[in-house]
Amino acid sequence: MENTAFDVVVVGSGAAGLALALQLPTGLRVAVLSKADTSAGSTSWAQGGIAAVLHERDSVQAHIDDTLEAGAGLCHEPAVRFTIEHSRQVVDWLIAQGLDFDLRQDQLDAEFREFHLTMEGGHSFRRILHAADKTGSAISAVLNERVAERDNIVVMTDRSAVDLITDEQGVRGIYVLNEHTANVDALKARAVALATGGASKAYLYTSNPDGATGDGIALAWRAGCRVANLEFNQFHPTCLYSPETRTYLLTEALRGEGATLHLPTGERFMPRYDERAELAPRDIVARAIDNEMKRYGLDCVYLDATHKTEEELAAHFPGVLERCREAGLDLANERVPVVPAAHYTCGGVVVDQHGAADLPGLYVIGETACTGLHGANRMASNSLLECFVYASSAARHMTENLRIQGDPAVPPWDDSRVRVSDEAVVIQHNWQSLRRLMWDYVGIVRTNRRLKRAANRLRVLSDEIDDYYSSFTITPPLLELRNLTQVAELMVTCAKQRKESRGLHYNSDFPATSQHPEDTVLVPSNSWVDHRSLPTYEGVGG
């Protein structure tokens, strides 16, 4: 059994986790954990790019205004300003790590070529830096290379964080299931950062990798941290509709470069919904597609990128072109079938501007956190930016505030569960039930009745999973199922509490938008904050 002491344990090897580890002082002993390999998170799958204000005619204020508008009145202005004001710094840092963003092709002979900036929904300006349509894998590769060069960082793969270790002072470490030994190790730490990504795997159809099971949100909630705005799960409008293969994202940058959405009849429908048409914010485009599909009983709608030549598509969108080809589709010469799929968790664990959560010594960054940046709807390509901005501020804050000194005494994992489950099929069945019910009842359009049914069914599922968890030896699928069911319950609780429609949350029993935007903040019974002095709307991210 591994009972090792670290200064900082970072759970997650995506953009947020690796950027944090790299920005901590080299004198600190840091562990980075991933429940699979180091490129397993959503980061490696990111296509479109990272939003930043670089063009001389663009401005920080314009990026802020666009983000606030996409967020439908629920963004926290200080968090938005803080994030966007640091975008240039993030780009410089990434370039210093070795990242090559695409340059303009029309300046091949110029002495200094500018970055090629692309366009995405909600942005009023071209401001997305990218590495073709494989920005995420380029980021992941470069950051992993830099981490490998650092003697003070230990990377541990195939390790699933189970629960945080706490005492009355705050966090003391974390219990971790080691898949290689099947043991649960107690890792001691002076600070822990959760950077475990989102929870879109709660839905039957998702653009996310399999590990997006909301683990960090569930761990923080169980340890007494508030969560907020989990009703706002973003559906990406254009995922390839291919019943035989897994869902695959067709980047919004395609629409940014002029691709349009059509019904099977050929009619282009987005101009009927919004003057920005295909470049309206995602909630509007996804709801429009959902509406057209329901209205005509369609399985999908169609994305038309045939205004681009094969060469142009191959230069900017090689990944998408290749994936369409594998599905037997010719993106350059035909319209391709698309549907919305669950894509991004806008809510999460409540944190301040340093990524600090309610539990002393716990930091939560990246998609797991609710910083106040995204409000009721995240604008495209703002999430990678958020990962890097909050990784830097968490690194600074952690370094200055490492509270617990020395070698804290932590209890070893107490496992009285000796029975090995032969019920893998039941766990698999519960996975399917969970994802199907979230898709059917807590999807793009909700009603009070559907939410009530979802809550009832989740309760039953959750009781069954608790029974498994307390009786049988734990396995990674059981841990993920337990976490995701808990997060799904939190999502439904948030959705039931919101008596209006706003951004990504549309309830046809409450179609109007309230004049008084408020976060949905859930407080656990073991909360670390004084319930009476809970921050209100202005304060959650501040």
Q: Which residue numbers are catalytic? A: 282
Q: What angle do CA 252, 254, 258 make, to 5 degrees?
A: 115
Task: Give the Cβ contact number of residue 398 at 10 Å.
Answer: 27
Nearer to ligand FAD, 124 or 178 (CB): 178
- List 136, 173, 237, 337, residue binding ligand FAD (CB under 6 A): 136
CA angle 438, 439, 441 (to 5 degrees): 65
Q: What is the dihedral of CA 300, 305, 311, 313, to 10 degrees?
A: -70
Binding ligand FAD by CB under 6 A: which of 249, 339, 461, 521?
249
| Binds ligand SIN (CB under 6 A): choice among 233, 242, 251, 371 | 251
Residue 407 CB, nearest approach to ligand FAD (Å): 23
Toward ligand FAD, which CB reaches closer, 12 or 337? 12
Question: With binding defined as CB under 6 A, does residue 383 bind ligand FAD?
Answer: yes
The first and second tokens of residue 427, run together, are 């766990």
Q: Which of 67, 83, 137, 196 is the binder for ligand FAD (CB under 6 A)?
A: 196
Phi, psi of 178 (to 5 degrees): -95, 110
**Is the Cβ of residue 12 or residue 224 nearer to ligand FAD in the bound state?**
12
Residues in contact with ligand FAD, counted by CB under 6 A, come to a total of 43
- Residues of 114-131 as b/e, b for ≥16 C-beta within 10 angstroms? ebbbbbbbbbebbbbbbb
Determine the Cα–Cα distance for residues 340 and 207; give it in Å rounded to an integer. 9
Q: x/- binding map, residues 370-389, to ligand SIN, per CB under 6 A? A: ----------xx-x------
The β-bridge partners of 10 are 32, 193
> Would you say the C-alpha torsion 299, 45, 215, 466 has a positive or negative sign?
positive
User: Residues 202-221: x/- map of binding to ligand FAD (CB under 6 A)?
Assistant: -----xx--x---x------
Residue 198 near residue 383 (C-beta atoms within 8 A): no
What distance separates the 2 farthest-apart alpha carbons in the chain?
Answer: 69
247 binds ligand FAD (CB under 6 A): no
Among 45, 115, 431, 506, binds ligand FAD (CB under 6 A): 45
- 173 versus 256: smaller Cβ distance to ligand SIN: 256
Q: Residue with structure tokens 């005494």?
A: 409
Helix (H) / strand (E) containing 159: strand 159-167
Q: Select 38 or 381, whichever has its Cβ closest to ligand SIN.
A: 381
From the CB of 409, what's the least distance to ligand SIN, in Å?
Answer: 43
Using CB under 6 A as the binding rule, whether residue 290 contacts ligand SIN is answered as: no
> Considering CB under 6 A, how many residues would be counted as binding ligand SIN?
8
In sequence order, the β-bridge partners of residue 176 are 161, 185
Of 136, 107, 98, 104, the C-alpha closest to 117 is 104
By a kind-dependent CB cut-off of 5 to 8 A, residue 164 interacts, out of ligand SIN, ligand FAD, none, with none
Which of left, alpha, beta for 245 (phi over 0: left; psi -120 to 50: alpha)? beta
Amino acid identity, position 281 = P
Find the binding residues for ligand FAD in span 50-69 (CB under 6 A): 50
Note whether 14 binds ligand SIN by CB under 6 A: no
Residue 34's binding partner out of ligand SIN, ligand FAD, none, with CB under 5 to 8 Å set by partner kind: ligand FAD
Q: Determine if 43 is a binding residue for ligand SIN (CB under 6 A).
A: no
Q: From the CB of residue 31, how many other CB atoms can be counted at a distance below 10 Å?
A: 23
Residue 489 found at the interface with ligand FAD (CB under 6 A): no
- The runs of H, that is alpha helices, within 135-281 are 135-148, 215-222, 252-256
| Contact status: 252 vs ligand SIN (CB under 6 A) | yes
Binding region for ligand SIN (CB under 6 A): 47-48, 251-253, 380-381, 383
Binding region for ligand FAD (CB under 6 A): 11-17, 33-36, 40-43, 45-50, 135-136, 159-161, 195-197, 207-208, 211, 215, 249, 344, 366-368, 381-384, 387
